[in-house]
Structure 1
Amino acid sequence: MNSDKKFDLEDRLVCFAADIVFFCKDMPSDMTGQYYGNQLLRPGGSSALNFGEAQGTNSDKDYINKVSITLKELKESRVNLRILDRVKYVGNSMRSKLLNEVEQLVRIIATIIKNKKQ
């Protein structure tokens, strides 16, 4: 049962990464869109990739390290989305959806790390 939850979370991270791609594709190609789009694509996709890597680790220490990188990338995505939200830059409903999802993912991953350290 526990491994099913990991795959559900992995699916959520993959969906988040895909939604980031769609969101960034719709950004204007002005200076702001290029800068924040590029900055958002990297951590948005990396969070899912690092979580996938964590599933293949051989020790709790390595698992915590990979999942901690996932958390770092999600937090970077969150700040980027908050900046875009603050300036009301494109995609109001999608931006809100992404902000909500990243907040939930940050909480989930932080809890996983906390529990694994105990």
Structure 2
Amino acid sequence: MNKSTDNMLSEKSYSFALEIIELCKVLMNQKRDYVLSKQLLKSGTSIGANVAEANGAISNPDFSAKISIAYKESLETKYWLSLLKDSGYIKIHPFKA
């Protein structure tokens, strides 16, 4: 990965984490669901944290491991968002690409 890609991925994952935080605030304030929103908060903010760790990797295998974790967290986040949507807790939210 080159530096500009690292910055783009870092910026997008950070922005995504902020969106996740806002969604979880709404869910918690509306007392809609605590357990699912907490899981979403953990996985949705973990993506960017792992990208940040990958940017500080000391080797290619270390970088690969951290990016892999970020990817897995994104899959988990997608699961929680789908579950919240399909259960009626949230409507489709147009996250920025």
TM-score, scaled to structure 2: 0.88
Counterpart of 1:46 in structure 2 is 46
Task: Name the structure where helix makes up a greater proportion of residues.
Answer: 1
Q: How does 1:1-118 map to 2 (within 5 A)?
A: 2-27=2-27, 28-30=30-32, 33-90=33-90, 92=91, 95-98=92-95, 101=97
Shift of 1:53: 0.4
Separation in 1, partners of 2:15, 2:48? 9
Counterpart AA for 1:14: Y
In structure 2, what is the Cα distance between the partners aligned to 1:75 and 1:61? 21
Give aligned-pair identity as a percent: 29
**Paired residue total:** 94
Q: What's the counterpart of residue 107 of structure 1? A: none
| Distance in 2 (alpha carbons) for counterparts of 1:97 and 1:6 | 24
Gaps of 5+ in 2: none
- Distance in 2 between the 1:63 and 1:85 partners? 33
Provide the rounded CA distance (Å) in 1 between the counterparts of 2:94 and 2:73: 18
Partners of 1:56 and 1:66 in 2: how far apart? Answer: 10
Which aligned runs of 4 or more in structure 1 are off by greater than 6 angstroms? none
Q: CA RMSD in A?
A: 1.5
5+ residue gaps in structure 1? 102-118
Letter matched to residue 12 of structure 1: K
Q: Distance in 2 between matches of 1:26 and 1:44?
A: 15
Q: What TM-score, normalized to structure 1?
A: 0.74
Q: 1:97 deviation in Å?
A: 2.0
* Superposed CA offset, 1:93-116 (max 9, x none): xx4324x75xxxxxxxxxxxxxxx
Please give the alpha-carbon distance, in whole angstroms, between the structure 2 residues aligned to 1:5 and 1:71. Answer: 15
